[in-house]
């Protein structure tokens, strides 16, 4: 069930990408926007991204490969044109992050889809697990935290910058109910902490489209956009331990309108001793299918700039296929 040889420093793994959104840069760009406005912000941001596109071959190749794969499902530009459009969408996404972090985002424009069931969960003070992705804007969770101020969100992250982001978010929005929790591996103590948060009516948010930063991450392999890809099984193992419902959250710009889409994935996840691997593979396949559905409808909003479909050598007993 585990991958046999994982090197988190290898070029294919997302953790090896030195992402643009580091804390000091975000604070500076937010200051530019707040003082000067949207166009001066772009004047600073777009040259940085242009430099990034031209000097970072790995993300550029990943973008080209992704757009070529996506062309089998919907119309998207290819080659350098497509890559530049892809990164331009990423730039606008960063700007929206600035607005969200600073409390300047116009929430009246947000369209909510499927929030009724989530609202029932909130009013009954029942917590749950929310699986999101790097399709669209992850920070739209902040809109959720302000729409339901009684809800406390705990977002699990795998990066060492979690505490720095927490401090920055607290400075930008002291009333935020969103907390970032760095988790390198899921220990019994961490599981107990999360169980307490859900028991209190809180929601744990975790990305379902990136393999954890660990020497031997547990994954399931399932088709995504026409080719097998590895997805983490951790969110669903966690949900089975916490005995809570699992929701999906997708936040996208559709025809210029920001949308936050909720879906119930499973009311509960049960992993029997016999057939455990098959049960995990089934729920991962459900998630991948919904991720594909939304990705096809917003193809330029996929912000995983690494070789997502890279499958390292796996022994049969190391990964769920």
Look at the alpha carbons of 108, 111, 116, 121 in this order and tell me if their dihedral is positive or negative: negative
CA dihedral 67, 39, 17, 297 (to 10 degrees): -30
Question: What is the pLDDT averaged over residues 296-312?
Answer: 89
Instruction: State the burial class of residue 136 (Cβ atoms within 10 Å of its Cβ: 0-12, 13-18, 19+).
Output: buried
pLDDT surpassing 50 at residue 40: yes
Position 2 scores a pLDDT of 40
Q: Which tokens is 190 given?
A: 């961490």
Residues in the chain: 321
DSSP secondary structure of 249-269: EEEEEETTEEEEEEEEEES--
Q: Percent of the chain at pLDDT above 90? A: 32
User: Dmax over Cα atoms in the chain, in whole Å?
Assistant: 60
Q: For the chain, percent helix, then strand, then coil, each to nearest 5?
A: 45, 20, 35
Give 239-266 pLDDT, tens digit per residue: 998 889 999 999 999 888 999 898 999 9
Q: Compare 21 and 154 and report the one with higher pLDDT.
A: 154
Residue 25 banded pLDDT, cuts 50, 70, 90: low
Question: What is the pLDDT averaged over residues 227-238?
Answer: 92
Position 79 scores a pLDDT of 93
Categorise residue 66: left if φ over 0, alpha if ψ from -120 to 50, beta otherwise: alpha
Residue 9 and residue 2: Cα distance in Å, rounded? 18
Position 62 scores a pLDDT of 93
Q: 0.85 exceeded by the pTM?
A: no
Residue 279 banded pLDDT, cuts 50, 70, 90: very high
Residue 278 banded pLDDT, cuts 50, 70, 90: very high
Work out the mean pLDDT of the chain and round it to a whole number: 80
Position 171 scores a pLDDT of 66
SS3 234: helix
pLDDT surpassing 70 at residue 178: no
Least confident among 7-11, 172-176, 179-183 = 7-11
Position 20 scores a pLDDT of 44
Q: Which tokens is 230 given?
A: 């590895």
Give 116-161 pLDDT, tens digit per residue: 777 777 777 788 999 999 999 877 776 666 666 766 788 887 655 5
DSSP secondary structure of 82-149: HHHHHHHHHHHHHHHHHHHHTT-S-GGGPEEESHHHHHHHHHTT--EEEEE-SBB-GGGHHHHHHHST
pLDDT surpassing 50 at residue 22: no
Q: Compare 61 and 201 and report the one with higher pLDDT.
A: 61
Least confident among 72-81, 103-112, 144-153 = 144-153
- Within the chain, strands assigned E span 111-113, 128-132, 153-157, 178-182, 203-207, 219-224, 227-232, 246-254, 257-266
pLDDT surpassing 70 at residue 228: yes
Position 99 scores a pLDDT of 77
Judging by DSSP bridges, how do beta strands 246-254 and 257-266 pair with one another? antiparallel
Residue 45 and residue 51: Cα distance in Å, rounded? 10
Query: Do residues 83 and 53 touch, judged by C-beta distance below 8 A?
Result: yes
Position 130 scores a pLDDT of 93
130: Cβ–Cβ under 8 A, 6 or more apart, which residues? 141, 153, 203, 204, 205, 206, 246, 247, 248, 249
CA dihedral 57, 61, 62, 67 (to 10 degrees): 140
């Amino acid at each position: 069930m585990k991958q046999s040889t994982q090197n988190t420093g290898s070029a294919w793994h997302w953790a090896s990408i030195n992402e643009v959104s580091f804390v000091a840069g975000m604070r500076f760009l937010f200051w530019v926007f707040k003082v000067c406005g949207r166009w001066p912000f772009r004047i600073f941001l777009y040259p940085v991204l242009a430099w990034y596109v031209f000097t970072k071959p790995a993300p550029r190749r990943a973008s080209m490969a992704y757009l070529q794969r996506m062309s089998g499902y919907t119309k998207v530009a290819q080659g350098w044109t497509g890559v530049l459009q892809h990164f331009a969408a990423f730039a606008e996404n960063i700007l929206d992050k600035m607005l969200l972090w600073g409390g300047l985002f116009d929430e009246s424009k947000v369209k909510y889809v499927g929030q009724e069931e989530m609202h029932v969960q909130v009013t009954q003070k029942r917590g749950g697990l929310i699986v999101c992705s790097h399709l669209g804007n992850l920070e739209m969770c902040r809109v959720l935290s302000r729409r339901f101020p009684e809800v406390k969100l705990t977002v699990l992250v795998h990066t060492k910058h979690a505490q720095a982001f927490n401090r920055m978010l607290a400075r930008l929005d002291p009333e935020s109910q969103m907390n970032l929790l760095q988790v390198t591996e899921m220990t019994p103590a961490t599981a107990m902490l999360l169980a307490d948060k859900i028991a209190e009516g809180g929601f744990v948010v975790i990305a379902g489209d990136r393999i954890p930063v660990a020497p031997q991450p547990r994954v399931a392999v399932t088709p995504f956009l026409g080719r097998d890809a590895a997805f983490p099984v951790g969110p669903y193992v966690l949900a089975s331990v916490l005995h809570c419902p699992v929701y999906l959250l997708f936040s996208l710009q559709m025809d210029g309108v920001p949308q936050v889409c909720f879906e119930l994935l499973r009311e509960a996840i049960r992993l029997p001793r016999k057939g455990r691997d098959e049960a995990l593979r089934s729920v991962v396949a459900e998630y991948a299918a919904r991720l594909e559905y939304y990705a096809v409808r917003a193809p330029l909003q996929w912000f995983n700039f690494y070789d997502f479909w890279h499958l390292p050598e796996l022994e049969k007993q190391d990964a769920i296929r």
